[in-house]
Structure 1
Amino acid sequence: MNLKKVLISACFIVWIAFAQGQSIQRAEPLHWWLGMHNPELQLVLYGSDIGDCEVKLPKAGMQLKKVHQVENTNYLFLDVEILNNAQAGTYPIELYKNGKKVLTRDYVLKNRDKNLVKAQGVHASDLIYLIMPDRFANGDPSNDSVKGMRETAVNRDSMYYRHGGDLQGIINNLDYLEDLGVTALWMTPVVTNDMPGYSYHGYANTENYEIDPRFGTVDTYRELGKELHKRNMKLVHDVVPNHVGLHHWTVIDRPSSDWLHEWDTFTQTTYKDQTMFDPYGTQADKDLMEKGWFVETMPDLNHQNEKMQKYITQSHIWWIEEAGVDGFRIDTYPYNDLAFMGKWTDAIRAEFPDFSFFGETWVHSVPNQAYFLGGQKVGQDVDTKLEGVTDFQLNYAIGDALNLEKDGANKLYSTVSGDYLYPNPLANVIFLDNHDKDRFFSTVGEDIEKYKSAFSWLLTYRGIPQMYYGAEILMKNFSRPDGLVREDFKGGFPGDEVNKFTAKGRTEAENDMFNHVRTLAQYRKQTTALQDGKLLHYAPQNDVYVYFRYNDKEKVMVIMNCSEEEQTVVLARFDEGIGQSKQMKNILTSESLNLPENVVVKGKQTLVFELK
């Protein structure tokens, strides 16, 4: 792809549009609120040749502090302050040339919605359910294809095209998720992704303040948040500070030459996270990692540009306040400028003290993963303030353990033993699979006992558990190509022959798995020991791993047999964990019994006991 040809062509189209009449085509953020912690706001104005205009804010309450002109004369950046005497309403922005007013754009300040639940944070008490909206359920077929967008094709027979799933489809199925035991919903990005291909995944946004019209509207998104909160569930918003799509409006007509990280020729990131902390590494290698583009269609944003910093930060604050977002999942976290991410986190927490974040860190060791967290526990140059990460290390470990790798149980034990490197291990998100990885049912060879064991671990271990849509009904496949792990949830689309949202539509095996997950998830919701309780574990013997989750009121014992052979586990070894307990209840069968001397565990089986 020749980037210069794409941008020159796009700019020529923009120039023709400007020649037809001068106007302020954009003012971002779209609106703002009174009573925010930070009264200062950066307004981005965009219109034909407005860069040399004088700006006035004539209405009391919104004060102009400074006007920033940039290389591109189609932009003005305004530093404004919202004063204490400001009232909700419209505030005219007036542009003058040679003393004559040429343009006026009204800007809206709103009262904050005191009835809107938001910024609760996502914690170890939650169970996160990850959905790709395009592939889950279609609640509004009228928005499947939107005229004027670069990708209009809808083809459910293809893994590459859009399928028509949307926010209304998710709203229609929230009762299903509540019944399953889910307490937080994370969707892959829902902002506009007007790219010519693969736009369904959302990770190449072309707008910062719009919901993709094929998913719904901002009002639909607000409604989703409200419906979740009615059910005591939370909304996780997927943000991408590192990059945008090639057709983002600020890329087509860039404000300045330093808006993006630009190279003489296309330069892709090396994906080598080690360069960010290597004590012997070069700045050149670090720059390639952090400033290289993720892929050709995703330009890398320059976080050293202060206007860019404010643009990104304000857009993310906007979604929390506008839609009732409770937490952020941060895409491609290691590729961001970490000093900026610390400032970004501080700015958001200043507005929403209980808000929480977890960053995607697809790296390959515990120290690598810990480096991107806050607290500077492993000698970081800057404090990112990040509280949790997607725990890929435990993801690798559970796969090894249940695939009967040699000493697999010890892999789990050894991996979690590195938790001393994390500021708060309970804030890490643990998972079996996601939209980028093989579905775990396929990872374990479609072995039901192994798969049940995986969920027994996921819903009883330390951290915030996250499951991927359809995992509870045995959805399978490998991620080469990744579309295979992004299939539709059957029953969510008009014309589906079966409906997996109902017990009647599921097979006997699917219902058995669904009930296994639901039983553990609902038990976890009621059991604080499995939420923020302490973890006590024993070094595995004979590939049997035993651990306890406990607090002052509750105690849960988990016995994982990671071998194929039946094992007899002598409980006397675990006196420190068992303590004074005299009885045990099998959570999955509801059977209660007096504490025996031995417990027999079948091959590949995991048992979960509540101790009394």
Structure 2
Amino acid sequence: MKKAEFQILVYGPGIGNAKVSLNYKGVTLNQAVKVENPNYVFLYVNVSKNAKAGIVPITFTDGTEKFTYNYPLKSRTDNSGALGFNASDVLYLITPDRFVNGNVQNDNWDSVLVNRKSPNARHGGDYEGVKQKLDYMKDLGITTVWLNPIQENKMRGGSYHGYAITDFYQSDPRFGSNEEFKALTKATHDKGMKMVMDMVLNHCGSSHWWMKDLPAKNWINNDGVFLQTNHATVSVMDVHASQTERNTFLNGWFTRGMPDLNQKNPHLATYLIQNSIWWIEYARIDGIRQDTYSYMDFDFLARWNKEVYDEYPDFNIVGETWYNKKTSPAWWQANSVLNKKNPFLKTPMDFSLTFAMQKAFDGETDNGYLGDLFEDIAQDFVYADPYNVLTFLDNHDLGRFSRKEDKDLKRYKQGLAFLLTMRGIPQIYYGTEVLMVGTKEDGDGRLRVDFPGGWPDDKKDEFTPAGRSDKQNEAWDYLRKLLQWRKTSTAINSGKMIHYAPKDGVYVFARIKDDKTVLVVINSSLTDKELKLDRFSDVITGYSSGKDVISSKEIALKQSISIPAKGQYILDLSK
């Protein structure tokens, strides 16, 4: 690795009282750090460039007692993966427990049984299931698979969602082994796709092995005593925030089942950073989405980002920056002009745009809410890099974009047309393509329902055209056509954006890269509109027509074009 020093956490009865030594060419023990709990010692080891792979004997001596632990030093042999992702990609977010049960043999573990009747229990989805559907995802047009946390959640309730980790170095066996996750990542790469791993460094599960015998009292925030966070996410950048409110936010726990980790403890900070780098190196993942991003210590996060990027310059990290206003996620982005310190985060999440999109295409009014979209995008000057933000219509924590009351696909089509042509890196939540529905009021478990056809006893298989309704197939085909075209469009993948204030219920914007231009026209009105084109001369001059991506209809760019009610055009312009 580029960084020569690494940490080894050693745990055992009275191990902190032992004298530690190692004898291996090119490897030296810099420090053996004792902490307040004598059952721990933290070794900081230096590996020189001329060190060879092999077994490093580490000897522990305490009086007359002596034993040697053989620590494996491994070669770096796999140069695949760690590719990062960008605006040319589309991420497909999966809750693994709810996607496909490819191996029923690993369903039950630690006395926690599968119960598909309960929305909050384990349902049995796993790596094998994801692997079986890689071709399905590729055919849809997905470039990047993003899995909700896959590390061990040995919690009494099962913790199907994965956010209560009990061992940061182990895969949850109900999904599969570490080796099976590594194999899944390789299979994803072999299909020409990428893998993103959801990580949680803010907290652990209350059943984590160290909770019974903490290395130090300050390993857990609030000295290990439960304190409910106030969720005051803006307090970290609020110049008027009281210190007590900020402390309660940062040091408070999500729930009693999720003890809040203290990243200001230097040994824990190093442990967590090293763990992230280990997963990248071991499994060759291409990106990380970091949960509850703003709840952690700022200096730790900046250091974590920097150390990961130092090792893997092409890598990308998405931070869950959940705010109503976009100034706050912009504060977290690398090189932000709003922040006196550099956060080093490449990709914040644009929740502000999500909330605008969720109502922008509603059909209750003649003009919709496209003005809200325009105004939100017009605030992009707050971002250091507005093209490197994550955009999404919904996710595992929000009500699904598709709604039971939607009588047709007009809102669905406009939402996806906007998402997949707008600036940023788009994410699709699994099941969007088959019109899955669910509201936040139904409970999180019902936002993360099983994909029909993913279990052997399912009565219908919505992974196949035959198992879907006509409306679902129309939605699936529409999304597929958009996604497959998007892969080929340099204007969308890496072009700049120019937009025009909505007028008469019609929003127009262009994506431009060299001699390639895509013109997007969205009509939120309940009536057809005749759109005069002279207003858009600075982006369409020199072009004679545009081919609509969905219908393949060629539309002449003369004095005006007609836009259907609640319709849209994505026009690939030609001269």
Q: Same fold (TM over 0.5)?
A: yes
Q: Which residue of 1 aligns with 2:345?
A: 386
Instruction: Quote the offset at 1:171 in angstroms.
Output: 0.4
Contact 2:326 2:352 in 1 (8 A): yes
Q: Which residue of 1 aligns with 2:564?
A: 602
Instruction: Quote the offset at 1:264 in angstroms.
Output: 8.5
- Tell me, yes or no, if structure 1 residue 437 matches structure 2 residue 398: yes
Instruction: Quote the offset at 1:431 in angstroms.
Output: 0.4
* Deviations, residues 34-65 of structure 1 (Å, cap 9, x unaligned): xx101101100011221100111123232111
- Tell me, yes or no, if structure 1 residue 368 matches structure 2 residue 328: yes
Contact 1:93 1:104 in 2 (8 A): yes
Contact 1:345 1:386 in 2 (8 A): yes
Q: Which residue of 2 aligns with 1:120?
A: 83
Q: Which secondary structure state, in structure 2, belongs to the residue aligned with residue 440 of structure 1?
A: coil
Instruction: Quote the offset at 1:595 in angstroms.
Output: 2.0
Q: Which residue of 1 aligns with 2:457?
A: 495
Contact 1:338 1:382 in 2 (8 A): no
Q: Which residue of 2 aligns with 1:156?
A: 116
Residue 69 of structure 2 aligns with an amino acid whose one-letter code is R
Q: Which secondary structure state, in structure 1, belongs to the residue aligned with residue 288 of structure 2?
A: strand
Instruction: Quote the offset at 1:198 in angstroms.
Output: 4.8
Once residues 600 and 531 of structure 1 are traced to their aligned partners in structure 2, the CA distance between those partners, rounded to angstroms, is 27
- 1:515 counterpart (449, 463, 477): 477
* Deviations, residues 320-352 of structure 1 (Å, cap 9, x unaligned): 000011111110111111111111111111111
Contact 2:290 2:318 in 1 (8 A): yes
Once residues 405 and 314 of structure 2 are traced to their aligned partners in structure 1, the CA distance between those partners, rounded to angstroms, is 38
Residue 132 of structure 1 aligns with an amino acid whose one-letter code is T
Q: Which residue of 2 aligns with 1:456?
A: 417
Contact 1:372 1:386 in 2 (8 A): yes
Once residues 353 and 405 of structure 2 are traced to their aligned partners in structure 1, the CA distance between those partners, rounded to angstroms, is 15
Residue 180 of structure 2 aligns with an amino acid whose one-letter code is T
Q: Which residue of 2 aligns with 1:139?
A: 102
- 1:395 counterpart (342, 348, 354): 354
Q: Which residue of 1 aligns with 2:72?
A: 108
TM-aligned CA distance change 1:73 to 1:443, over 3 Å: farther
Q: How does 1:440-589 map to 2 (within 5 A)?
A: 440-442=401-403, 445=406, 447-480=408-441, 481-589=443-551
Residue 409 of structure 1 aligns with an amino acid whose one-letter code is L
Q: How does 1:216-227 map to 2 (within 5 A)?
A: 216-227=176-187
Q: Which residue of 2 aligns with 1:428?
A: 389
Contact 2:217 2:223 in 1 (8 A): no
Q: Which secondary structure state, in structure 1, belongs to the residue aligned with residue 440 of structure 2?
A: coil
Contact 2:224 2:259 in 1 (8 A): no
Contact 1:273 1:368 in 2 (8 A): no
Contact 1:400 1:411 in 2 (8 A): no
Instruction: Quote the offset at 1:166 in angstroms.
Output: 0.1
- 2:127 counterpart (167, 189, 199): 167
Contact 1:556 1:608 in 2 (8 A): yes
Once residues 606 and 294 of structure 1 are traced to their aligned partners in structure 2, the CA distance between those partners, rounded to angstroms, is 42
Q: Which secondary structure state, in structure 2, belongs to the residue aligned with residue 540 of structure 1?
A: strand
- Tell me, yes or no, if structure 1 residue 409 matches structure 2 residue 374: no
Contact 1:444 1:451 in 2 (8 A): no
Residue 31 of structure 2 aligns with an amino acid whose one-letter code is K
TM-aligned CA distance change 1:443 to 1:352, over 3 Å: farther
Once residues 272 and 58 of structure 1 are traced to their aligned partners in structure 2, the CA distance between those partners, rounded to angstroms, is 50
* Deviations, residues 77-134 of structure 1 (Å, cap 9, x unaligned): 0011112332212112111111x342222111111123x4121111000000000000
Once residues 405 and 23 of structure 2 are traced to their aligned partners in structure 1, the CA distance between those partners, rounded to angstroms, is 66
Q: Which secondary structure state, in structure 1, belongs to the residue aligned with residue 476 of structure 2?
A: helix
Once residues 85 and 264 of structure 1 are traced to their aligned partners in structure 2, the CA distance between those partners, rounded to angstroms, is 43
| 304-313 vs 440-449, greater mean Cα deviation | 440-449
Contact 2:221 2:260 in 1 (8 A): yes
Residue 95 of structure 1 aligns with an amino acid whose one-letter code is F
Q: Which residue of 1 aligns with 2:212?
A: 252
Q: How many residues align?
A: 571
Q: How does 1:64-213 map to 2 (within 5 A)?
A: 64-98=29-63, 100-114=64-78, 116-146=79-109, 149=110, 152-213=112-173
* Deviations, residues 482-539 of structure 1 (Å, cap 9, x unaligned): 1111111111111112211112222111111111001000000000111111111000
Once residues 35 and 546 of structure 2 are traced to their aligned partners in structure 1, the CA distance between those partners, rounded to angstroms, is 69
Contact 2:368 2:525 in 1 (8 A): no
Once residues 490 and 314 of structure 1 are traced to their aligned partners in structure 2, the CA distance between those partners, rounded to angstroms, is 38
Q: How does 1:338-353 map to 2 (within 5 A)?
A: 338-353=298-313
| 418-427 vs 129-138, greater mean Cα deviation | 418-427
Instruction: Quote the offset at 1:407 in angstroms.
Output: 6.0
Contact 1:246 1:252 in 2 (8 A): no
Residue 233 of structure 1 aligns with an amino acid whose one-letter code is M
Once residues 515 and 76 of structure 2 are traced to their aligned partners in structure 1, the CA distance between those partners, rounded to angstroms, is 40
Once residues 446 and 200 of structure 1 are traced to their aligned partners in structure 2, the CA distance between those partners, rounded to angstroms, is 33
Once residues 446 and 415 of structure 1 are traced to their aligned partners in structure 2, the CA distance between those partners, rounded to angstroms, is 28
Residue 396 of structure 2 aligns with an amino acid whose one-letter code is H
Q: Which residue of 2 aligns with 1:21?
A: none
Superposed CA RMSD in Å reads 1.5
TM-aligned CA distance change 1:196 to 1:294, over 3 Å: same
Once residues 106 and 318 of structure 1 are traced to their aligned partners in structure 2, the CA distance between those partners, rounded to angstroms, is 19
* Deviations, residues 251-278 of structure 1 (Å, cap 9, x unaligned): 2211001111125953111111221112
For structure 2, the 5+ residue unaligned runs are none
Residue 483 of structure 2 aligns with an amino acid whose one-letter code is A
- Tell me, yes or no, if structure 1 residue 273 matches structure 2 residue 221: no
Contact 1:51 1:70 in 2 (8 A): yes
Q: Which secondary structure state, in structure 2, belongs to the residue aligned with residue 107 of structure 1?
A: strand
Contact 2:362 2:368 in 1 (8 A): no
Residue 15 of structure 2 aligns with an amino acid whose one-letter code is I
* Deviations, residues 375-420 of structure 1 (Å, cap 9, x unaligned): 1311x24211011111111101112211256761110000011111
Residue 399 of structure 1 aligns with an amino acid whose one-letter code is Q
Q: Which secondary structure state, in structure 2, belongs to the residue aligned with residue 539 of structure 1?
A: strand
TM norm structure 1: 0.91
TM norm structure 2: 0.97
Report percent identity of matched pairs: 38
Contact 1:403 1:444 in 2 (8 A): no
| 417-426 vs 307-316, greater mean Cα deviation | 417-426
TM-aligned CA distance change 1:532 to 1:448, over 3 Å: same
Once residues 400 and 139 of structure 1 are traced to their aligned partners in structure 2, the CA distance between those partners, rounded to angstroms, is 37
Residue 422 of structure 1 aligns with an amino acid whose one-letter code is Y
Instruction: Quote the offset at 1:596 in angstroms.
Output: 3.5
Once residues 280 and 192 of structure 1 are traced to their aligned partners in structure 2, the CA distance between those partners, rounded to angstroms, is 40
Moved over 3 A (4+): 404-407, 443-447
Once residues 167 and 439 of structure 1 are traced to their aligned partners in structure 2, the CA distance between those partners, rounded to angstroms, is 24
Contact 1:122 1:326 in 2 (8 A): yes
Residue 206 of structure 1 aligns with an amino acid whose one-letter code is T
TM-aligned CA distance change 1:443 to 1:396, over 3 Å: farther
- 2:193 counterpart (217, 221, 233): 233
Q: How does 1:55-66 map to 2 (within 5 A)?
A: 55-66=20-31
Once residues 263 and 602 of structure 1 are traced to their aligned partners in structure 2, the CA distance between those partners, rounded to angstroms, is 61
TM-aligned CA distance change 1:446 to 1:297, over 3 Å: farther
Once residues 142 and 259 of structure 1 are traced to their aligned partners in structure 2, the CA distance between those partners, rounded to angstroms, is 37
